[in-house]
Amino acid sequence: MRVASALWALCLTVLLSSCASSPSLMSGTPPAPPAADAYLIGVDDMVQVSVWRNPELGVTAPVRPDGMISVPLVGDVVAGGRTPDDVAKDLQAKLGAYVREPQVTVILTELRSHEYLSRVRVTGAVRQPVSIPYRQGMTVLDAVLAAGGITEFAAPDRSSLHRKTGDSAQAYGVHLDSILNNGDLSTNYKVAPGDVITVPERLL
């Protein structure tokens, strides 16, 4: 009897310590990932500049290591670290000295810098922990499948999505078993650059 009581007390202590060490999960839905036009242009991104009714002033070029692109008439313009809309407004102001009421459009044709800098990571009880490039519209399920799916030791319904917002990080519960086996997509959140998805192992 004493042995059974001691074992029960030991199990209870382990369980409580496990709960205490686990991160608290936020209720509700994580904030939506940023829209594509909210991205800041990075080095090596391909940028297309178009000037309405002045096709000869258009250019498609990669952003140089100094963050600049070269545009006819204007010369070098800072693109790195700015949004396409900001660059377009800057070019409109500068081209105003040469073209009457210029209408400038700046489009990112290839997000080369974000291919490497903005990644989503999947860790824990998955076949192959991975760090994959973020793609707009990517979901938790997409990322987990890219990691080869879960292992037989996983506790999928205790999975979590970790997202840093400003100076704080939040964790959101993901019912991965319900997503995979029941088609319940209520926690199949869209991921954002920098997200980490963790799939814990089940308690034996």
d(CA 172, CA 158): 10
Whether 33 and 136 have beta carbons less than 8 Å apart is answered as yes
- pLDDT of 123 higher than 60: yes
> Sign of dihedral through CA atoms 76, 81, 82, 83?
positive
d(CA 58, CA 77): 14
Question: Which of 2-11, 150-159, 185-194 has the lowest average pLDDT?
Answer: 2-11
Dihedral, 59, 104, 88, 35 alpha carbons, nearest 10: -100
Query: What are the backbone angles phi and psi of residue 100, rounded to the nearest 5°?
Result: -75, 125
146 Rama sector, left if φ>0, alpha if ψ -120 to 50, beta otherwise:
alpha
Can you name the residues that pair with 47 across neighbouring β-strands? 61, 108
- List, for residues 50-61, the tens digit of each pLDDT value: 999 999 999 999
- List, for residues 38-79, the tens digit of each pLDDT value: 678 888 889 999 999 999 999 999 999 889 999 999 999 999
d(CA 84, CA 30): 26
Q: Is domain 119-204 given the CATH code 3.40.50.300 in the classification?
A: no
- pLDDT of 160 higher than 90: yes
Task: Please give the helix or strand (H or E) that residue 50 lies within, else none.
Answer: strand 46-51
Classify domain 37-114 by CATH number: 3.30.1950.10
The model carries a pTM of 0.53
CATH 3.30.1950.10 maps onto the chain at 37-114
CATH 3.10.560.10 maps onto the chain at 119-204
d(CA 116, CA 79): 18
**In this predicted model, which residue has the larger pLDDT, 101 or 114?**
101
